[in-house]
Amino acid sequence: MRALIVTDFDADPRIEEVETPSPGPGEVLVRIEACALNFADLLMAKGTYQDTPELPFALGMEVAGRIEALGEGVKGPKPGTRIAVFGGSGGMAEYGVFPADRCIPVPDGMPSEVAAGFIVAYGTSHLALTHRARLKEGETLLVLGAAGGVGLTAVEVGKKLGATVIAVANGTEKLQACKDAGADHLIDGSKEDIREAVRALGGADVIYDPVGGDLFKQAMRACKPEARIIVIGFASGDVPQIPANIILVKNITVIGFYWGAYTTFNPGPLVMSVRDLMGWYAEGKLDPHISHVLPLDRATEALDLMRQRKSTGKVVVTP
């Protein structure tokens, strides 16, 4: 089979012919129909992600496809079942083996391109805003990097939870995507002072930050007293140092959130979150945004779209 393989952290990943894997105990073999990219794939390709596998490995954290075979001791899902799964890696390939207990059945009306990019992006925003930040109806949610893969879902989920949503993104096209997702207020981060713009809107109760860097510092200074800041990631490449005096004076809570960790240390809230989200999708309450769908032969181009900030929503590769 073909797969996008990382063999050296100092070299670009490349398409290679490799042996089709066989499922081990507790695993299933999946014929992959779509693989969604995440910012973590860029970090993993350079060996800087917290859960980077040992070399060599195939990129691709989340996929959708059909069960082909079951490993020892696995009773389901049965072969032929459409599923989505967060595997952590191995998705940028024609086949992959993944833990059976992570496989989630995909509704008939959900295309594979949507299903592949659904679990992590929506799951991150939903679990972060409900389980960790306890976002309440009527509160103001500030979303940084709001036109990105997780940012747009935070806008959408925040609105469904009854919040007033302020979206920060760069440029007219990306701001329009935020407006289409339900944002109440738009801030162009490339032109406006975020601190002053948010303060003019009354401040923020919850800040959703997948960016870090200077945006974190500006947003923190626009918090209301007792605000909660959710640290999702550092797409800017800059991990901000938090000034404890500001946290103290404004009674701010800074909340770390890594969605993938819940698959091992506390899967219960994660499972319930994904079930809720699948229900919302089936009821027509969510409208996933995919900006690019590319074949496996153009997988490096797909990675470049994310690296150069040229995408909105999700980028998907179809083996």
Same domain for 23 and 82? yes
User: What angle, 0 to 180 degrees and rounded to 10, lies between the N-to-C axes of helices 149-160 and 119-127?
Assistant: 50
Residue where one domain finishes, among candidates 217, 238, 259: 259
User: Which residues pair with residue 243 across a beta bridge?
Assistant: none
What separation in angstroms does the CA of 215 have from each of 89, 170, 238?
Answer: 29, 12, 10
Coil, helix or strand at residue 92: coil
Residues 15-37 pLDDT 10s:
999 999 999 999 999 999 999 99
Report yes or no on 268 lying in a domain: no
Report yes or no on 205 lying in a domain: yes
Same domain for 153 and 82? no
Same domain for 83 and 151? no
Where does the chain have alpha helices with state H?
A: 39-45, 112-116, 119-127, 149-160, 172-180, 194-200, 213-220, 244-249, 262-265, 267-282, 299-307
Tell if the pTM clears 0.75, that is, is over it.
yes
From the list 75, 78, 70, 76, the residue with the least C-alpha distance to 29 is: 70
Which pLDDT score, from 0 to 100, does residue 263 have?
A: 84
Residue where one domain finishes, among candidates 238, 259, 280: 259
Encoded tokens for 34: 């779509």
Check if the beta carbon of residue 198 is closer than 8 Å to that of residue 166.
yes
Which pLDDT score, from 0 to 100, does residue 33 have?
A: 98
Same domain for 251 and 158? yes
Same domain for 110 and 82? yes
Q: Which amino acid does the sequence have at 301?
A: E
From the list 265, 288, 257, 302, the residue with the least C-alpha distance to 118 is: 288
Report yes or no on 213 lying in a domain: yes
Residue 47 CB contacts under 8 Å (≥ 6 apart), including other chains: 9
Same domain for 127 and 113? no
Residue where one domain finishes, among candidates 259, 275, 309: 259
Same domain for 254 and 210? yes
- Burial tier of 159 (Cβ tally within 10 Å: 0-12, 13-18, 19+): middle
CATH number at residue 218: 3.40.50.720
CA distance 79 to 158: 37
Check if the beta carbon of residue 312 is closer than 8 Å to that of residue 173.
yes
Same domain for 227 and 130? yes
Same domain for 252 and 218? yes
Give the count of alpha carbons within 13 A of 151, CB side only: 31
Report yes or no on 99 lying in a domain: yes
Angle at 127 between CA 61 and CA 115, to 5 degrees: 40
Q: What does DSSP say about strands 185-188 and 204-209: parallel, antiparallel, or unpaired? A: unpaired
Same domain for 20 and 79? yes
Which pLDDT score, from 0 to 100, does residue 207 have?
A: 98
CATH number at residue 77: 3.90.180.10
Report yes or no on 253 lying in a domain: yes
CA distance 220 to 151: 17
Which pLDDT score, from 0 to 100, does residue 313 have?
A: 82
Coil, helix or strand at residue 170: coil
Residues 235-294 pLDDT 10s:
888 999 999 999 999 999 999 999 989 988 998 898 889 889 988 998 999 999 899 999
Residues of the chain with pLDDT under 70: none
Same domain for 177 and 127? yes
Which pLDDT score, from 0 to 100, does residue 122 have?
A: 95
Report yes or no on 28 lying in a domain: yes
Report yes or no on 282 lying in a domain: no
Report yes or no on 280 lying in a domain: no
- Host domain of residue 305: 2-118+288-318
What separation in angstroms does the CA of 273 have from each of 132, 259, 268?
Answer: 12, 11, 9
The total number of structural domains in the chain stands at 2
Same domain for 125 and 104? no
